[in-house]
Structure 1
Amino acid sequence: MNENYPCDIIQDLLPGYIDEILSETGTRVVKEHLEECEKCNHVYLEMKEGLNSEEELNETLALDGFKKVQQHTKKLKITIGIFAGLLTLLLLSIFLKVFVIGELLSSHEVYATDISYDEKTESLTISGTINLSSYHISRVVWEESKEEADVVHVLVYGAETLPFQLKKTDFTISIPDMKGKTAYLASPEYDRLEVYSWENDHYEKLAELEDEIYSRLPELDKVKDALSYISGIEYVNGIEGICYYVDTVVGENASYWRFNNQLITDGDFEPQNFAVWISLDKPYQILIYNLETGEYTEDYSIIRNN
């Protein structure tokens, strides 16, 4: 054992020895002493282990701190990404709404220029235009009314026109199966304009059918018993036909007339409990529809009993 260097001095030099900052001579002296002194070597090993544990702890703390910063940064990036995505979707939806999808136009902004019904295909073709300086037609659709039978709504949507965009102001739409139906232009929610009525378009045919009914059913009085066409086409035994409600005018010297397809009387109307069905094609077939039983019959006695 080197007696020139007491254990206290050697132990004071151990931190520098562990950190390798001693001079070459100091390092040699400490090393030789540790090889000979079990006590100092034990202190050296404990001190080195403690320093290693502290370094590992510092590294762990630093690593944990880095992970926390990394997680926070990741969450921040995700939050920014979500916000940017939502903002992009919002701007895109606004753009699509204004310039692509557009809004439903009202009836005074849409004009039907040509309306034609094809007797063979039973389809209706409507051509029209809009008169809005900054708008173009984005789409034209039709839909059957959910509240009224045999009614179709034609919906015209207009969107704002971009500076470089071609302005489309005309439209044409074909609607199938329009026999016995009525078509309206624009929104059914706040306003609508009738553009086609199969009944009005075939008034001569319906007048002929009504005359046939009165001539075949003498129990009905043309002056007192008013016929009201029920919209749509009614098939009976595979045969096309239409139905009429019957309303009898009551009251002294009372009469009835029609105005805008509406029955008007200076007396009162008494609805009958039957309807009259007549085929559209000759030879005309006539059946009585009992509104109480829901059955068709050729027995005209129900008319006489009313």
Structure 2
Amino acid sequence: MYGLLIVGVQHFIETTYGSECWNRVVERAGLGAAVTYQTQKVYSETIIERILEALSEEIGETVDELSYQSGLYFAAFTTHSGYEKLLRVQGRDFIHFLQNLDNLHEHLRFSYPKIRPPSFFVKSNSSARIELVYSSKRLGYVHYVRGQLVNLAKQFFDLDIHVRLLGQEREGLVNHVTYEITHEGKSWGSLEADYEEQGLPEWGNTVRADEFFTLFSFYLVLTRDLQLKKVSQSFRNLDPEIEGANLSDKFLIARPYISVTFDAVSSFWGLEQFICNSKLSVLERFIRRALMLSNTADSVVGRSTLLSLHSESL
């Protein structure tokens, strides 16, 4: 893992219990009292676990509670470490924010190329309840993530949420954790309450399929049995035999962590897609104009460029 996570835990302990407590904890954990962690250096996956266990022994609190408190603190820590603007443009409300977390983690590869990001999937949502699935190859972060969610909801959407663990299961190397998120308000919040959303103009029913598909450089048309019924010329240039093949024979779904079934894949299709590339080059302009990254096409010169430019400035 990258040192950014460890530094966040260090700041949590030093802020809450004092620097002397931190020195005792790392010594108790066998890490050395004079150890210094760098945010962009990769360290052992066991360090945070060892630190929290040592802290638990030091102050007499459970590891689960300390993990939750550390998650609460880390969400606030990242916003004060240059990531506030990046987080602020992830979604207009809390549901969209959760749906964009995977994009956020993927684009952090610009700064952290060896990152092993988790995956978040909004399984269902209503005006008062969200069912969220958190998937990761790491174990022991169930309550840590719970704390992060509570803090982010409060900080960016002024929501007082309750996050309850519904269950978890292991599938191969991946651990799937399901949370129930509820709140007592009337909506899931908005960063710009006075923003009036305007839809795209009506196209009518006059666009022919052959014209429509020319708008996309890369596309796949799937049948229910996951046959690649129609693919773009760009894909055919890469593999002349791709059309007519099964999706599983030609592709691996790296993210999100889902089974390769039609129902699982189609559950991610309820997303807005805009056929455009943003001319805005800095996140400050997004914030001023009440725009979200979900309002841009997820293309190389769209979201990736915006986030790359922001990452270079951190």
TM-score by length of 1: 0.24
Who wins on radius of gyration, i.e. which is larger? Answer: 1
Structure number with the higher helix fraction is 2
If each structure's strand is expressed as a fraction of its own residues, which one has the higher value?
1
Superposition TM-score, scaled by structure 2 size:
0.24
Larger RCO (alpha carbons 8 Å, 6+ apart): 2
